[in-house]
């Protein structure tokens, strides 16, 4: 009995967060699933059960197909680029140099303001008119003509990915840095005595020992990338056409603007499953990789 009560004591501490989590995550999820089977329009509470109609309609929707393609491209490219840049950056920031604290703060800074704010500022920098900041630099320094950074299908995609990489690399570098600092210095000293070069040390000591950090960082980046909304929305509003519409944007468009809440809910449910599968797959794969390395 005493043991049970002690056990219960710990559970009680979890209660507040459990209530919040249930209220704000589980309940809406269940409600979304419920609504995805109805013709709810977002205004009238008098709605009807329509079975799987919304799920069938979903896969013939041009916008959602285009949204899935861009979202996947965005998530994969930004994850790859950020990971490739954050690890060397973390190694650099780990060195003992005079301005290291200022540098760490500088690289970390872009992750503090909201993505929406950053994207609006970038919108002015990448403005397609000749007076846009970037286009002015191109003209004055390189003598090049104005580029449609946010209007050309390919350039618009590239611009959103680059802004996202710029905004998040510092944060992930700091994550890697934290893990780097937990690697005992003895390993490097031993390797140095054995004649390992700096590159070999990175290849055979740093990278394998960073594997757990990579699992966490890549999972955060992938799920974050799949759920992305603010940056493409503020930069391009999803244009030109459907080119930079993300899945989340299509859900908002169909649900709120077009009052097809049922369809939008069906999209959310399918989207939730896609993210779940990808995240589970990635974490299992990378944990296996960690075990192999260790």
233 near another protein (CB under 8 A): no
Site stretch for another protein (CB under 8 A), options 2-10, 73-81, 161-169, 187-195: 2-10
C-beta closer to another protein: residue 19 or 84: 19
Question: What is the helix, strand, coil percentage profile of the chain, to 5?
Answer: 75, 0, 25
242 near another protein (CB under 8 A): yes
Which residue among 85, 125, 152, 274 contacts another protein (CB under 8 A)? 152
154 near another protein (CB under 8 A): no
x/- mask, another protein, residues 182-201, rule CB under 8 A, reads: --------------------
Which residue among 156, 175, 177, 270 contacts another protein (CB under 8 A)? 156
Which residue among 258, 280, 284, 285 contacts another protein (CB under 8 A)? 258
DSSP state of 98: T
Report d(CA 82, CA 92) in Å as an integer: 15
Question: Could you tell me which residues are beta bridge partners of residue 38?
Answer: 49
Site stretch for another protein (CB under 8 A), options 188-196, 197-205, 208-216, 256-264: 256-264
Please tell me the count of residues contacting another protein according to CB under 8 A: 45
Site for another protein in 271-290 (CB under 8 A): none
Output the CA torsion sign for 77, 220, 110, 72: positive
Which residue among 114, 181, 197, 257 contacts another protein (CB under 8 A)? 257
x/- mask, another protein, residues 69-108, rule CB under 8 A, reads: ----------------------------------------
Q: CA separation (Å) from 261 to 2, 38, 62, 135, 207?
A: 50, 8, 17, 41, 46
Lookup: tokens for 281: 């797959």
Q: CA separation (Å) from 243 to 160, 186, 247, 260, 286?
A: 11, 51, 12, 22, 31
Site for another protein in 13-32 (CB under 8 A): 13, 15-16, 19
145 near another protein (CB under 8 A): no
179, 87 in Cβ contact below 8 A? no
294 near another protein (CB under 8 A): no
Interface ranges with another protein (CB under 8 A): 2, 5-6, 8-9, 12-13, 15-16, 19, 39, 41-45, 123-124, 126-131, 146, 148-153, 156, 236-237, 239-242, 253, 256-260, 263
């Amino acid at each position: 009995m005493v043991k049970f009560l002690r056990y219960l004591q710990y559970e009680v501490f979890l209660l507040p967060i459990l209530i919040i989590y249930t209220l704000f995550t589980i309940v809406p999820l269940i409600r979304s699933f419920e609504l995805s089977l109805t013709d709810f329009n977002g205004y009238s509470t008098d709605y009807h059960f329509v079975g799987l109609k919304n799920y069938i309609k979903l896969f013939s929707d041009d916008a959602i197909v285009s949204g899935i393609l861009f979202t996947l491209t965005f998530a994969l490219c930004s994850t790859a680029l950020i990971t490739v840049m954050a690890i060397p950056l973390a190694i650099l920031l780990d060195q003992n140099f005079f301005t290291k604290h200022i540098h760490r703060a500088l690289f970390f800074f872009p992750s503090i303001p909201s993505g929406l704010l950053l994207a609006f500022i970038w919108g002015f920098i990448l403005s397609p008119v000749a007076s846009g900041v970037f286009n002015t630099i191109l003209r004055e320094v390189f003598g090049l003509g104005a580029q449609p950074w946010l209007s050309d299908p390919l350039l618009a995609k590239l611009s959103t990915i680059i802004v996202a990489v710029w905004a998040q690399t510092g944060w992930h570098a700091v994550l890697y840095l934290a893990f780097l600092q937990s690697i005992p210095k003895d390993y490097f000293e031993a390797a140095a005595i054995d004649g390992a070069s700096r590159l070999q040390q990175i290849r055979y000591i740093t990278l394998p020992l960073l594997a757990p950090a990579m699992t966490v960082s890549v999972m955060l980046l992938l799920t974050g990338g799949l759920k992305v909304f603010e940056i493409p929305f503020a930069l391009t509003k999803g244009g030109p056409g459907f080119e930079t519409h993300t899945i989340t944007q299509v859900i908002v468009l169909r649900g709120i603007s077009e009052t097809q809440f049922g369809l939008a809910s069906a999209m959310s449910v399918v989207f939730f499953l896609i993210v779940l599968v990808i995240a589970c797959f990635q974490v299992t794969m990378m944990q296996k990789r960690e075990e192999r390395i260790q």
